[in-house]
Amino acid sequence: MPEDLYGGLWTKVSGLIRAGMFCCNAEIAEQFDHVEGVVGDCLREHLPVMVYEIGRPHWNWKGYVNHLNRMTDAYRPFISEYNGNRKNTVDTDDVSIVALAKTLGLPVVSMEAFDRGEPSAKRMRIPRLCDCEKVVHRTFNELLRIEGVKL
Protein backbone atom coordinates (compact mmCIF):
# COMPACT_ATOMS: atom_id res chain seq x y z
CA MET A 1 0.00 0.00 0.00
CA PRO A 2 2.15 2.85 -1.26
CA GLU A 3 2.40 6.05 0.73
CA ASP A 4 1.40 8.24 -2.21
CA LEU A 5 -1.96 6.43 -2.38
CA TYR A 6 -2.49 5.61 1.30
CA GLY A 7 -0.71 8.48 3.07
CA GLY A 8 -3.50 8.92 5.62
CA LEU A 9 -3.23 5.28 6.62
CA TRP A 10 0.52 5.47 7.15
CA THR A 11 0.18 8.68 9.16
CA LYS A 12 -2.22 6.84 11.49
CA VAL A 13 0.10 3.82 11.72
CA SER A 14 2.94 6.19 12.60
CA GLY A 15 0.73 7.50 15.40
CA LEU A 16 0.48 3.95 16.79
CA ILE A 17 4.27 3.65 16.65
CA ARG A 18 4.68 6.97 18.51
CA ALA A 19 2.13 5.79 21.09
CA GLY A 20 4.35 2.80 21.93
CA MET A 21 2.09 0.14 20.41
CA PHE A 22 4.97 -1.80 18.85
CA CYS A 23 8.14 -3.47 19.99
CA CYS A 24 10.71 -5.68 18.35
CA ASN A 25 14.12 -7.22 18.87
CA ALA A 26 17.39 -6.13 17.30
CA GLU A 27 17.13 -8.66 14.45
CA ILE A 28 13.80 -7.27 13.31
CA ALA A 29 14.91 -3.65 13.82
CA GLU A 30 17.72 -4.21 11.29
CA GLN A 31 15.02 -4.68 8.65
CA PHE A 32 13.67 -1.16 9.27
CA ASP A 33 16.45 0.26 7.09
CA HIS A 34 14.40 -0.97 4.12
CA VAL A 35 11.13 0.70 5.17
CA GLU A 36 10.59 3.93 3.29
CA GLY A 37 8.55 7.04 3.91
CA VAL A 38 6.82 8.33 7.01
CA VAL A 39 6.57 4.88 8.64
CA GLY A 40 10.23 4.07 8.05
CA ASP A 41 11.27 7.44 9.49
CA CYS A 42 9.01 6.93 12.50
CA LEU A 43 10.30 3.39 13.13
CA ARG A 44 13.92 4.51 13.04
CA GLU A 45 13.18 7.50 15.29
CA HIS A 46 11.54 5.29 17.92
CA LEU A 47 14.09 2.45 17.91
CA PRO A 48 15.44 3.35 21.37
CA VAL A 49 12.08 2.61 23.00
CA MET A 50 10.92 -0.14 20.63
CA VAL A 51 13.89 -2.49 20.64
CA TYR A 52 14.23 -5.09 23.38
CA GLU A 53 17.86 -6.14 23.52
CA ILE A 54 19.54 -8.92 25.46
CA GLY A 55 21.16 -7.61 28.62
CA ARG A 56 18.94 -4.58 29.12
CA PRO A 57 17.48 -4.66 32.63
CA HIS A 58 13.92 -3.49 31.89
CA TRP A 59 12.67 -6.86 30.66
CA ASN A 60 13.01 -10.62 31.10
CA TRP A 61 15.72 -11.18 28.50
CA LYS A 62 16.83 -14.43 30.14
CA GLY A 63 13.32 -15.80 29.63
CA TYR A 64 13.51 -14.67 26.01
CA VAL A 65 16.82 -16.51 25.50
CA ASN A 66 15.30 -19.64 27.04
CA HIS A 67 12.26 -19.45 24.74
CA LEU A 68 14.46 -18.74 21.72
CA ASN A 69 16.80 -21.66 22.39
CA ARG A 70 13.92 -24.07 23.05
CA MET A 71 12.01 -22.93 19.96
CA THR A 72 15.08 -23.09 17.75
CA ASP A 73 15.62 -26.70 18.80
CA ALA A 74 11.95 -27.65 18.56
CA TYR A 75 11.35 -26.11 15.12
CA ARG A 76 14.77 -26.73 13.55
CA PRO A 77 13.27 -28.94 10.79
CA PHE A 78 11.26 -25.91 9.60
CA ILE A 79 13.80 -23.09 9.99
CA SER A 80 15.15 -21.94 6.64
CA GLU A 81 18.77 -21.36 7.64
CA TYR A 82 19.10 -24.94 8.93
CA ASN A 83 17.60 -26.45 5.80
CA GLY A 84 19.49 -25.05 2.83
CA ASN A 85 17.73 -21.66 3.07
CA ARG A 86 14.44 -23.32 2.16
CA LYS A 87 11.88 -20.81 0.87
CA ASN A 88 8.35 -20.27 2.21
CA THR A 89 9.16 -21.22 5.77
CA VAL A 90 10.16 -19.43 8.95
CA ASP A 91 13.67 -18.14 9.43
CA THR A 92 15.64 -17.38 12.58
CA ASP A 93 14.33 -13.79 12.69
CA ASP A 94 10.75 -15.10 12.64
CA VAL A 95 11.49 -17.49 15.49
CA SER A 96 13.13 -14.69 17.47
CA ILE A 97 10.14 -12.35 17.16
CA VAL A 98 7.72 -15.10 18.24
CA ALA A 99 10.02 -15.82 21.21
CA LEU A 100 9.94 -12.10 22.10
CA ALA A 101 6.14 -12.01 21.88
CA LYS A 102 5.88 -15.13 24.05
CA THR A 103 8.22 -13.60 26.62
CA LEU A 104 6.29 -10.33 26.76
CA GLY A 105 2.81 -11.88 26.45
CA LEU A 106 2.08 -9.81 23.34
CA PRO A 107 0.67 -10.66 19.90
CA VAL A 108 2.72 -10.91 16.72
CA VAL A 109 1.62 -8.85 13.72
CA SER A 110 2.72 -10.01 10.29
CA MET A 111 1.54 -9.87 6.71
CA GLU A 112 1.05 -13.65 6.68
CA ALA A 113 -2.36 -15.28 6.98
CA PHE A 114 -2.85 -18.59 8.73
CA ASP A 115 -2.72 -21.51 6.30
CA ARG A 116 -5.78 -23.60 7.09
CA GLY A 117 -4.49 -26.62 5.18
CA GLU A 118 -2.68 -29.60 6.60
CA PRO A 119 0.63 -28.78 8.30
CA SER A 120 3.67 -29.34 6.13
CA ALA A 121 6.51 -31.58 7.23
CA LYS A 122 9.01 -29.07 5.77
CA ARG A 123 7.48 -25.61 5.97
CA MET A 124 5.94 -23.46 8.65
CA ARG A 125 4.75 -19.89 8.44
CA ILE A 126 4.68 -17.33 11.24
CA PRO A 127 0.97 -17.79 12.08
CA ARG A 128 1.37 -21.54 12.55
CA LEU A 129 4.48 -21.04 14.70
CA CYS A 130 2.49 -18.59 16.82
CA ASP A 131 -0.34 -21.10 17.10
CA CYS A 132 2.05 -23.86 18.20
CA GLU A 133 3.51 -21.51 20.83
CA LYS A 134 0.13 -20.18 22.01
CA VAL A 135 1.03 -16.65 20.88
CA VAL A 136 -1.73 -14.53 19.37
CA HIS A 137 -1.09 -13.71 15.72
CA ARG A 138 -2.71 -10.86 13.84
CA THR A 139 -2.49 -9.84 10.22
CA PHE A 140 -1.81 -6.18 9.54
CA ASN A 141 -5.43 -5.69 8.45
CA GLU A 142 -6.69 -7.28 11.68
CA LEU A 143 -4.49 -4.89 13.67
CA LEU A 144 -5.92 -1.92 11.77
CA ARG A 145 -9.48 -3.07 12.51
CA ILE A 146 -8.75 -3.69 16.20
CA GLU A 147 -7.15 -0.27 16.57
CA GLY A 148 -9.95 1.42 14.59
CA VAL A 149 -7.57 2.74 11.92
CA LYS A 150 -9.51 3.78 8.81
CA LEU A 151 -8.83 6.12 5.92
The β-bridge partners of 52 are: 25
> Taking the CA of residue 135 as centre, how many other CA atoms within 13 Å lie in the half-sphere pointing to its CB?
27
pLDDT in tens, the chain (151 residues): 788 887 789 899 999 999 988 999 888 899 899 998 999 999 999 999 999 999 999 999 999 999 999 999 999 999 999 999 999 999 999 999 999 999 999 999 999 998 888 889 999 999 999 999 999 999 999 999 999 988 7
The β-bridge partners of 130 are: none
- In angstroms, the CA 78 to CA 28 distance is 19
- Provide the whole-model pTM: 0.89
H-assigned helices in 56-138 = 61-74, 92-104, 126-132
Q: Are 142 and 127 in contact (CB under 8 A)?
A: no
The Cα diameter of the chain in Å comes to: 43
